[in-house]
Amino acid sequence: MTFCSKVHEQTRLIHGDTPCDALQRTPGPPIQRGSTVLLPTCEALYDGGKVTYGRVGLSTQRTLRDALRDLENADEAFLYPSGLTAITGTLLALLSAGDEVLACDTVYNPTRRFLAGTLARYGVTARYFDPADDAEAIRAMITPATRVIFLESPGSLSFEMQDVPAIAAMAKEAGVMTVIDNTWAAGVLFKPLDHGVDVSIQSLTKYVCGHSDVFMGLAAAKGEAAKLLAASSYETGWAVSPDDAYMAIRGLRTLRTRLAQHGAAALEVARWLESQPEVRSVMCPALPDDPGHAIWKRDFTGICGLIGAVLEPASEVAVARMVESLELFGLGFSWGGYESLAIPVDPQLKARSHKTSYPGPLLRLHIGLESVDDLIADLRQGLDTLSQDDVSRQRLRAAG
């Protein structure tokens, strides 16, 4: 470049050009890093309609947003640095002091903490409805202050299904916005915006990224809600890195393939668990006996890998020992990655407003992409530790 040949080495090192038009074409998009966006004219600096600063996202984030907007059939998709910030960012965008949220009692516990903490300080109140409440029962709870109904279906700990289309239609009539945490369906198995919901949120950390190594969140919205989210996400300044956006785009390539495998394996494990003597019941809406089966069959096109199992009564210690004995199921929070996970969830149910109890301990399983036979063998040896524990307890009782 002639400009470069005229200046000193120090300047040349700083101004060496990056010719964008020389990018080679690859199957994946380029990862474009940049805070400053170089503009051709002074007029362009103050053109509100254009990208003039990197925080709002450059080409890599835009590629991801377009793909997620189309996946959720939304007007616009907004990215956040985690699923939780997608939830808190959406609530901040839609709510004002004096407003009230009606939330399903199955919501993700950090959502509950945000409502009780930050939003309560800002003058927003929250009430919880029972996941079994239908649209009419929720309508009866609406007051002039109600602004948002927050749903999660199925609940990610206890798998209750809500009649989302009926609740969304009722809310629309009442002038209330509906928001759903759609992480379980990964934007594929259920399309909330097609059923009248205003905002569909996902923790992209789970299935979209899919490899337990990236945090990211999505709020996909239509109409008025999309306008409010656009203004609020610009004001609050949440940003995701182009590298993480690239990882999410890569996850999308295999999302449907992975989900199909997770779902088929989860159904196989669920059916197997139903026939085990240590298992009282299995929570999976694809099972015909599941209380949410009819709604699931009507609204969803499949299941993901997340299911629940209520065990026959056993001590907390015995359940801990059983979960710790599993070799292929990791012990840890989160889900949606390629690997299987198992946790006891009873402590998390204590936060609910409507007390929930089951006849035995509740386990949550994430069925990963391992061989189903190996996973079933691992669960069988885990369940064996429970019956061994029963035997030793009976012996102790007999001896005492």
Ligand X SMILES: *Cc1c(COP(=O)(O)O)cnc(C)c1O
Tell me which residues are annotated as active site.
55, 108, 181, 206
Nearer residue to ligand X within complex by CB, 32 or 203? 203
- Note whether 84 binds ligand X by CB under 6 A: yes
What angle, rounded to 10 degrees, do the helices at 372-399 and 316-325 form? 140
Separation CA 111–CA 79 (nearest Å): 18
Separation CA 148–CA 143 (nearest Å): 11
- Per-residue binder mask for ligand X (CB under 6 A), 229-268, x = binder: ----------------------------------------
Nearer residue to ligand X within complex by CB, 101 or 386? 101
- Note whether 178 binds ligand X by CB under 6 A: no
Separation CA 389–CA 250 (nearest Å): 45
Out of 83, 251, 337, 360, the residue judged to bind ligand X by CB under 6 A: 83
Residue 87 CB, nearest distance to ligand X (Å)?
6
Nearer residue to ligand X within complex by CB, 155 or 382? 155
Separation CA 220–CA 241 (nearest Å): 19
- Per-residue binder mask for ligand X (CB under 6 A), 190-229, x = binder: -------------x-xx--------x-x------------
Assess contact for 196 and 172: CB atoms under 8 A: yes
Q: Provide CB contacts within 8 A for 274, sequence distance 6+.
A: 281, 282, 287
Residue 308 CB, nearest distance to ligand X (Å)?
13
- Please, what is the end-to-end C-alpha distance for the chain in angstroms? 91
Residues 319-378 that bind ligand X (CB under 6 A): 334
Nearer residue to ligand X within complex by CB, 72 or 278? 72
Q: Total number of residues binding ligand X (CB under 6 A)?
A: 13
Residue 186 gets the label, from left (phi > 0), alpha (psi -120 to 50) or beta, of: left
Question: What count of other Cβ atoms lies within 10 Å of the Cβ of residue 292?
Answer: 23
Residues 43-82 that bind ligand X (CB under 6 A): 82
Residue with tokens 């002039």: 144
The CB-nearest residue to ligand X is 83
Residue 238 CB, nearest distance to ligand X (Å)?
12
- Beta strand 306-311 pairing with 279-283: antiparallel
- Note whether 32 binds ligand X by CB under 6 A: no
Nearer residue to ligand X within complex by CB, 133 or 152? 152
Nearer residue to ligand X within complex by CB, 236 or 394? 236
Q: Give one DSSP letter per residue of 106-165, joined into a string.
A: TS-HHHHHHIIIIIHHTT-EEEEE-TT--HHHHHTT--TTEEEEEEESS-TTT-----HH
Of the candidates 221, 160, 181, which has an alpha carbon nearest to the alpha carbon of residue 358?
160
- Per-residue binder mask for ligand X (CB under 6 A), 88-117, x = binder: --------------------x---------
Residues 129-168 that bind ligand X (CB under 6 A): 156
Phi, psi of 306 (to 5 degrees): -100, 120
Q: Largest alpha-carbon pair distance within the chain?
A: 95
Tokens of 348: 């998390």
Nearer residue to ligand X within complex by CB, 107 or 267? 107
The residues binding ligand X (CB under 6 A) are: 82-84, 108, 156, 181, 183, 203, 205-206, 215, 217, 334
